[in-house]
Amino acid sequence: MGNNQLEREYEEIRLKQTISLAEEQLKQAKEAAEKKKSQIIEVKKEVRENAAHGVTNLYTSDGFEALVELSQYMNPVIDKIVDYEEEEHKILLLENMTKSPYFARIDFKFDDEEEFEKIYIGRSSLRKNSYQEMYVYDWRSPIASIFYRFMKGEAFYDAPCGRVTGELKLKRQYEIKNGALKYFFDTDVQIVDEFLRQLLSQNTTAKMKAIVETIQQEQDAVIRDMENDLLMVQGVAGSGKTSIALHRAAYLMYQGLQTKLSANNIIIISPNAIFEQYISNVLPELGEDNVISVVFEDILNMLLKGRKIQSKNDFLEKIIAPSQYKKLYKDSIEFKTSKLFGEILDKFIYDIPCQWIEFDDVYYEGTCVVSRQTLQDKVLGRTETPLGIKLAQLEDYILELIFGTGKGRGHKAEKNLVKQEIQNFIKIDIFELYKILFSNESYFFSLLHNNNSSESIKEIREYTKENLEAGCIYYDDAIAMLYLYLKIYGTNEYKNIKQVVIDEAQDYYPLQYEIFGLLFPNAKFTILGDMKQTLAKKEDISFYEEIHKILNKKKSSLIVLDKSFRCTNEILNFSLKFIEQSPQIKSFNRKGDSPEVFIADNSEVFIDKIVEEVKSCQEKGLQSIGLICKTENNSICLFNKLKHKLDIQIIKNGSAAELQGVFIIPVYMSKGLEFDAVLICDADNQNYYDDDDKNLLYVACTRALHRLSLFCEKEVSPLLYATSKHTKPEQTE
């Protein structure tokens, strides 16, 4: 890209000045960090010397005072460590800035001024000093939004003081590596698209990377939204939903400088552990601490501790693998996570103190202190208080009746005996309670009011009863038990969370959104999904309205992203055949090879064709090659056949391997990921044959950036050649 010589010289000088300023501040930061490190060592030494006698006194009658004194000694150490960590963070940002201080420039004239101001935009800000000119603006700053949202002409941005208007004369982008200016170009729509097309043509990486240089206008609107309590994003495959989610988290932390929002106030709900690992570098690349990231299973295991729960992946294996019980498994989770079953659980919770807790008269020294009826009446009152809290308060009430309100040091043994006696009716075992619900047939169907006692529900009840009696907690039952637990006991585990980001939103069920509402009652939500990429269920865009009703937030918005940046035209068009009534998906118009289907007569030829295709991809320079199978069982079987022929790894439940080289992965674990080449390795009529399987094929195909191939042994899946109501993607330049 040719540059005017004078402009080139100006930009070289400006870059040199910027790096020089960054290096000067880096030197100062390192000196300050060393000084603070020395201070920490000195203060720790003083604490050891001055607090020695305090530690000794902890075990004397003056222990409380000694503990307070010890805390006072430790506070200065903690403060110094916090200061030191802030300086280290500053050093990291400045080190990155010396390598590539900015990626864009806009020339903008404010309406009340006559001169255009040159505004440079980078991943973090750089100021000459506390009061002088800003050398580089953070990409999240209000004025930087002009770069993402406008071409030349009238432009504006929204600042804390209100809307600021003016004129944009120049948009310029830079490629700067290791402090050297490689090239720059002034952008219009055609040049921007060509630049992005070149970037998209490159190979993917083992971990997702930040995309601040290429954020699109519609993506920027989602990232910067601060108006809505519930922001929902329906985005087609490859529209950048996950990148948007992470850049939004970084933006919220930037805004947190004013709103006191930090990394520990934001949580990302990820679909699986592989996905968590895949996205782990993005926020650090943006100069931010990683926010809390959890998989829904982590929450299940933490709050329902003490019992072994089936993993989500194991449940998905059962629900998508060919089986005579497949419909039962699918019906089971749809019923147990439905609004209807949530209402059944609510009625059950209401009935628990009336029917399912055996209150006893409480005796002390031969005298009835309080009757069972009084205890039950106390629990039945104050309906707004959770049952678990009311039961815990019963213990305090009984002990106060017997021993009074004093410390009662002399009654410790007697208190323990009374506590043991009343544990039978104040302590609830969620598992046993849930088992009662399914064991009592007449009571179970009375909660349905007999208007939905279909054969399917009867089968689900019997199947669940048998599992629970055997001590098995399947994934769908664990979801219902967690709802019971939260309604009965509540939790303060996530009381600090103010922003929740949920990715792959389409794969959660209504009861799970009820749970999210209970876990994060005071948080704002960003929910991103694609209703065409569901696993083992069908949803449409109306599901967002259901989510809105469940979470019940004051202000909400649904944004649709219909442009796909990941796949080539050929791959995207091939993938659309698996979508019924396909939405209008806009392709970024990147051309590539047409997908191919390979059919082998026997196992030996089948394996040879896969090996040949993998080697062909490697010769073409493709680096991440994903062999996708429908299930983990299929993946293991294929791995055993290929491990002596290729350098290959397998990704399965609990795996922590990085996504690089050649690997085999079940389709449900590939959600949200992308690979240079995708080989679907079990595209036969035994694995892919019904409507649910169409969604799986769509997910698998749209993981591919550059190349897609499908393999089957003997009979090919009829879905590959079935006609469907789909339209070719609209191509955009």
Burial label, 631 (beta-carbon count in 10 A; 0-12, 13-18, 19+): buried
Cα end-to-end distance, the chain, whole Å? 20
d(Cα 40, Cα 725) in Å, to the nearest integer?
68
Please tell me whether residue 146 adopts helix, strand or coil conformation: helix
Q: Where would I find the H helices in 553-592?
A: 569-575
The DSSP output letter for 64 is H
Q: What angle do CA 606, 612, 616 make, to 5 degrees?
A: 145
3-state secondary structure of 494: coil
Does residue 241 have a known ligand-binding role? yes
Buried b or exposed e, range 67-92, using 16+ CB within 10 angstroms: eebbeebeeeeeebeeebeebeebbe
SS3 677: strand
Rg of the chain on CA atoms, in Å: 30
The verdict on whether residue 529 carries a ligand-binding annotation is no
Q: Is 239 annotated as a binding-site member?
A: yes
Total residues found in the chain within this entry: 733
Angle made by CA atoms 182, 188, 189, in degrees to the nearest 5: 115
DSSP characters over 370-393: E-HHHHHHHHHS-TTS-HHHHHHH
| Alpha-carbon torsion (8, 10, 12, 14), positive or negative | negative
CA-to-CA dists, residue 7 to 2, 435, 482, 538, 643, angstroms: 11, 75, 63, 56, 56
- Kind of pairing, strands 704-713 and 675-680? parallel
Are 603 and 713 in contact by the 8 Å Cβ rule? The answer is yes
CB neighbour list of residue 117: distance below 8 Å, 6 or more residues apart: 107, 108, 109, 110
Residue 526 β-bridge partners: 231, 501
Report d(CA 322, CA 631) in Å as an integer.
10
User: For 724, phi and psi rounded to 5 degrees?
Assistant: -145, 165
Residue 544's nearest CA partner among 529, 522, 533 is 529
Say how far apart CA 635 and CA 682 lie, in whole Å.
Answer: 9
Question: Could you tell me the two tokens for 41?
Answer: 């060592």
Instruction: State both tokens at 258.
Output: 């004013």
β-bridge partners, 596: 709
Report the run of H or E that residue 30 belongs to, with start and end: helix 5-57
Binding site annotation covers 236? yes
Q: Is 392 assigned a ligand-binding role in the annotation?
A: no
- Please tell me whether 321 is known to bind a ligand: no
Residue 603: C-alpha distances to residues 600, 613, 682, 684, 714 (Å): 7, 16, 12, 13, 9
568 assigned binding-site residue: no
* H helix or E strand, kind and range, residue 533: none
Consult the annotation and say whether 238 binds a ligand.
Answer: yes
Binding site: residue ranges?
235-242
Binding site for ATP: residue ranges?
235-242
